[in-house]
Amino acid sequence: MDGSQLTDLAGYRIYYGTGSGACRGGTSQALAAALPNPVPGTEVSYQLTGLATGSTYFVQVSAEDHSGSESACSNEVSGAALADGADTTAPTGSVVINSNATYTTWTAATLRLAGSDLIGVTGYYVSTSSTRPAAGAAGWATVTSATSYSNTNVPFTLNAGDGTKTVYAWFKDAAGNVSATMSDTIVLDQTAPTTGTLTATPGTGQVALSWAGFTDGGNGLATANPYKLVFATGSAPATACTSGTQLYLGTGSTYTHTGLTPGTIYSYRVCATDKAGNTAAGATASATPRGISDTTPPTLSITNPTAGTTYTTSTSPLTLGGTAADTVGVASVSWSNNRGGSGTATGTTSWTASGIALQAGTNVLTVVARDVAGNTTTRTLTVTYTAPSQTPGLVAAYAFAEGSGTTTADASGNSNTGTLTAATWTTAGRSGSALTFNGTSSWVTIPATPALDLPTTLTVEAWVYPTSLTNWRTVVLKEAAWGYTYALYASDGAGHPAGHLMNKGSQQAVQVIGPSSLPLNAWSHLAMTFDGATLRLFVNGSPVASQATTGAAATSTGPLRLGGNGRWGEYFAGRIDEVRLYNRALTQAEVQTDMGTPIGR
């Protein structure tokens, strides 16, 4: 009754009687409230019935909450009762757009309608026109008659185009009385702010950012948090201000991004939002922070395999190790060999470079430490490599000892380097590292050289660890236009190991096939020899098949493949280690010696 808004209104109690002072002492009727929290000034209509026509009645009203508490009575009014059915009082009510929001970015709106009538509200009418409709006009929405009517979810479409939109509403009763015009307004704003500019200025380990020029031609930028700043590393900024990492949200126009990594590109996007919630696409900028002013190079030492400047070995590949330090920070340690090969060491202050392939003779290994400012220090180690004594006639040998990289060295000293395709390194080899082949696309390719043609006598050996023996599984194959010159298989299509040789004179393939399959998921040694008269197959050092053949083997300009071939797409599945090729036929004793002697030992 004091003008403040109610929050728990249950209803009203109407006291009346033919004498003054009816409150609490006269007859009363109850009226349920349409809303528990009507806004101040809301009018409620109610008609007392069953009165004596022509008699004067005095009326007062109180309000009740849901706990049963009752307010003081209102002021007293009086009037003469009319005959029942004589209704000339129009309904009253209100309309609210989008829960009384000030702005919207959508033409689809939701209306909240509340109306009351002495007899009962029977319909409502909403429009963008202020013209008051007649009770019988088209467009009225019919509702179940009630003295108090409320609907909080009436859909309505606002007229298109930015600007202030007004929605008008009316109620009618069964007697045809139409309420006075009621209305509410909302601002439709579907235009995003204009995109301004963003400036990013790099500093030492930080980037200073500032932005300007964001404007909104409608209702202005948002009062709270109009600007949002996000970032991403790299040259491409976040695609929108809803992605990326948020740095700032507020009203300012500057921000300093600190604690950054020198030399790294940082990209930024800042967006502005208007009062209606529209967001600009945003302005972008990138910057690369500088490192701390540093002209002092790092310290660097090689401690493994020696702290000296020269070293002699018969083992390849070689592992280097050492330490590095810097007043600001060591960024990387890298190595290179003047005979071929380079890479990045693992670690910085304590570093290791493994798998360095050596060539026979002098190898100058150069190690470079680089700090975050770009200063470098270089150390060298001169390594004299003498290849270990090998059985005569060795033309290629692959220990797969590198453990990483895309190439594998020829340990025979003949420089028949292999290039990996889809093969991966594993430490679970027969002797140290090995290669794993996926059975569908992996192989190692060695370019053709005359030494890899083995026309008169040969030996091909390998340790294999098959995981599947279905189909043909290539271990070693020298490709030719017609197929191959020689080949060693872990499976010949029927699951048996096999050796193949193409006779140059007859142009016929000579084959030796093992009597049983190799075990899966276990290491087996395969060897094929040809002494000019007999082709033999050995499994784990024992001869299992032989075939007499005379004449030279065919030669070709095709590459040597390990683990697959390009003629028929026959790929090995599993691991391969310790591959050797000789230009002579080894004896059984020599094959058994190779079985127990890792390459390079």
On whether residue 369 sits in a domain, the answer given is: yes
Boundary of a domain, candidates 188, 223, 241: 188
On whether residue 76 sits in a domain, the answer given is: yes
Compute the average pLDDT of residues 353-373.
Answer: 91
Sorting pLDDT into bands at 50, 70 and 90, what band is 3?
A: low
Residue 80 above 70 pLDDT?
A: no
Boundary of a domain, candidates 385, 412, 437: 385
pLDDT of 497 reads: 98
pLDDT of 251 reads: 95
Contact 360, 378 (CB under 8 A): no
Strand-pairing partners, residue 16, are 27, 59
pLDDT, tens only, 96-137: 999 999 999 999 999 999 999 988 999 999 999 999 999 999
- Mean pLDDT is lowest, of 168-182, 385-399, 432-446, for 385-399
How much of the chain is helix, strand and coil, in % rounded to 5? 0, 50, 50
Shared-domain flag, residues 367 and 421: no
Peptide bond into 466 cis (omega under 30): no
Residue 16 above 90 pLDDT?
A: no
Shared-domain flag, residues 282 and 306: no
On whether residue 496 sits in a domain, the answer given is: yes
- Mean pLDDT is lowest, of 327-341, 383-397, 414-428, for 383-397
Compute the average pLDDT of residues 9-21.
Answer: 85
Compute the average pLDDT of residues 232-240.
Answer: 91
Report in angstroms the alpha-carbon separations of 434 from 272, 279, 430, 465.
58, 57, 7, 10
pLDDT, tens only, 26-79: 688 888 887 778 777 677 777 777 787 768 888 888 888 888 888 888 888 877
On whether residue 4 sits in a domain, the answer given is: no
Shared-domain flag, residues 426 and 567: yes
pLDDT of 58 reads: 84
Shared-domain flag, residues 172 and 251: no
Phi, psi angles (nearest 5°) of residue 452: -85, -10
DSSP string for 491-525: EEESS--EEEEEBTTT--EEEEE-SSPPPTTS-EE
pLDDT, tens only, 216-231: 988 899 999 999 999 9
Shared-domain flag, residues 321 and 454: no
On whether residue 294 sits in a domain, the answer given is: no
Q: Helix count (H) and strand count (E) of the chain?
A: 1, 41
Boundary of a domain, candidates 334, 361, 385: 385
DSSP label of 482: T
pLDDT of 1 reads: 46
Shared-domain flag, residues 179 and 209: no
pLDDT, tens only, 192-214: 999 999 999 998 889 999 999 99
pLDDT of 2 reads: 54
pLDDT, tens only, 486-513: 999 999 999 999 999 998 877 889 999 9
On whether residue 139 sits in a domain, the answer given is: yes
pLDDT of 266 reads: 95
For the chain, the average pLDDT equals 91
Sorting pLDDT into bands at 50, 70 and 90, what band is 574?
A: very high
CB within 8 Å of 141: residues ≥ 6 apart: 123, 124, 125, 126
Shared-domain flag, residues 308 and 438: no
Containing domain of residue 435, as a range? 394-595
Q: Strand locations in 39-157, DSSP E?
A: 56-65, 77-80, 92-97, 103-104, 108-127, 141-157
On whether residue 417 sits in a domain, the answer given is: yes
User: pTM of the prediction?
Assistant: 0.43
Shared-domain flag, residues 250 and 379: no
Shared-domain flag, residues 214 and 150: no
Shared-domain flag, residues 421 and 547: yes
pLDDT of 225 reads: 93
Shared-domain flag, residues 51 and 109: no
pLDDT of 46 reads: 77
On whether residue 241 sits in a domain, the answer given is: yes
pLDDT, tens only, 274-301: 999 999 999 999 999 887 667 889 999 9
CATH number, domain of 38, equals: 2.60.40.10
Overall domain count for the chain: 5
Strand-pairing partners, residue 13, are 30, 62
Residue 524 above 90 pLDDT?
A: yes
pLDDT of 477 reads: 97
Paired tokens of 601: 């030992």
Compute the average pLDDT of residues 398-424.
Answer: 93
Compute the average pLDDT of residues 322-333.
Answer: 92
Shared-domain flag, residues 97 and 177: yes
**How do 103-104 and 182-188 pair as beta strands?**
parallel
| Higher pLDDT among residues 86 and 557, named by residue | 557
% of the chain with per-residue pLDDT over 70? 96
Q: Is 451 left (phi over 0), alpha (psi -120 to 50) or beta?
A: alpha
